[in-house]
Chains A and B, each alone.
Chain A
């Protein structure tokens, strides 16, 4: 800690503040956020917030709950696709095992991750048709990008002696990976998969914006037609669903990492 404090010299900090401040003012000017407009903001936000009450529970019950369930299913399928494809890629992408292959796989996964999932969905919706299937594929693609990177890092940080022992005893590379590597890395990989599931759930909520299923389409439509009580139902139920799933998934993840 003390080393880090020493390296972070105050000189840098004041320069950084100055530059960021200048950039901020330029940006505010560029998006036409004048002081008068900013001064009106709190009142404006307060007025709109008032419209969200009372929550339309009937809409919540009949329309939002099914859409949230669809979002969860979408996120799950996306995660399964991501996990299945990323598992071999994680092993092949480990620079300690396959140095040449690793560069290619890491480059591809960086490119995949750079494009937000909703942009993948834009391509997939015309290809596989409107609906959650396109969304699941989009999430799957993006999950592959993230999980193979994280997975490769897990494999790289693993002790390879168990693998070498299997190979020394005459096992093939494949057998060595199966018996010497996977048992060590699987719990951590599964923890990453669950974490990705949590992320996918949030992402799946917005895919509806481009017609790829889930709860996002409902929010967009209710807000567009100024049905604020219905939009409130979407928001409240989404928050509750995400909190609940985070809770369950988080506790399983901690168990996995403790090795229990």
Chain B
């Protein structure tokens, strides 16, 4: 963006876009019951809640250590399992190395559909299938990680220098040898960075999985919320904030060295 964008050609187009945006906004605001008067009405209840939720209950902190560890276990399993499955998914979805057109189309659509569902949906599904607990959370984050990593990684694989894989092919290498020796070694650093990135997302995601019964710190959060123990809720949310920021800092510094 070194040069300023050209001014809009027609006034009509600009006005049209603004009209569409305004209509969407008004329609949405009406649909969700956006009202300032309601905000003012609820302000009293809201301020009471805020008073109750401060100061945070520091005595509650020791009881959070176990659930936090569980949360990190879930995030780690989800990331590792997802990262392994994402390799074949990403390779088959990368046009230059994909073995044939049909595999490519099927895998691409599979990836796109996988990406549409949020992590908490997977958590609800797995909690129903395998029962409440951390295993459901780990499975949910595995699927979610496949979605995140395979999308990013397949774009990296598509951008590789194809001379190397072609050379492996020309020497009589099989498709697997071409991918393993010619294609993937070029993109391992990016892969490692994407895995770290997905781990960051998973740490954040694993904090809320417990809301639907999939283990971790969210389970405690859900019970305290249901009992209106808001000074404990504040304590939990503050510690989530600290843990997430810490892990992000570490992971981001590793990623910077990889990239």
Contacts and interface: CB of A to CB of B under 8 A. Distances in A.
B is bound to A: yes
A155 B190 CA distance: 26
Nearest to B159: A1
A235 B122 CA distance: 10
A172 interface: no
Interface in B62-100: 69-70, 72-74, 76-77, 80
A63 B125 CA distance: 19
A34 to B, nearest CB: 10
Contacts of B29: 73, 77
Interface string A207-250: 00110010010011001001000000001001100110010000
Nearest to A69: B31
B46 interface: yes
B208 A114 contact: no
B28 A73 contact: yes
Contacts of A220: 124, 212
Contacts of A28: 77
Contacts of A168: none
B83 to A, nearest CB: 9
Interface in A111-137: 111, 114-116, 118-119, 122-123, 126-129, 131-133, 135-136
Interface string B112-125: 11001110110011
A229 to B, nearest CB: 13
B1 A162 contact: no
Contacts of A37: 135
Given A1-B186, A76-B25, A162-B4, A238 B121 contact: yes
A116 B204 contact: yes
A247 to B, nearest CB: 10
A4 B34 CA distance: 51
B168 interface: no
A238 B32 contact: no
Contacts of B16: none
Interface of A: 1, 4-5, 7-8, 13, 16, 20, 23-24, 26-28, 30-33, 37, 41, 44-45, 48-49, 69-70, 72-74, 76-77, 80, 110-111, 114-116, 118-119, 122-123, 126-129, 131-133, 135-136, 154, 157-159, 162, 183-188, 202-203, 205-206, 209-210, 213, 216, 219-220, 223, 226, 235, 238-239, 242-243, 246, 259
19 contacts: A4-B190, A8-B192, A8-B258, A31-B138, A49-B129, A69-B31, A114-B245, A115-B240, A122-B225, A122-B233, A123-B233, A128-B46, A132-B32, A159-B1, A184-B4, A219-B121, A238-B121, A242-B116, A259-B6
Interface of B: 1-2, 4-7, 24-25, 27-29, 31-35, 38-39, 42, 45-46, 49-50, 53, 69-70, 72-74, 76-77, 80, 112-113, 116-118, 120-121, 124-125, 127-130, 133-135, 138-139, 160-161, 185-186, 188-190, 192, 204-205, 207-208, 211-212, 215, 221, 225, 233, 237, 240-241, 244-245, 248, 258-259
Given A220-B124, A235-B121, 10 more contacts: A1-B186, A41-B130, A77-B25, A77-B32, A114-B240, A128-B38, A162-B4, A209-B124, A216-B121, A239-B113
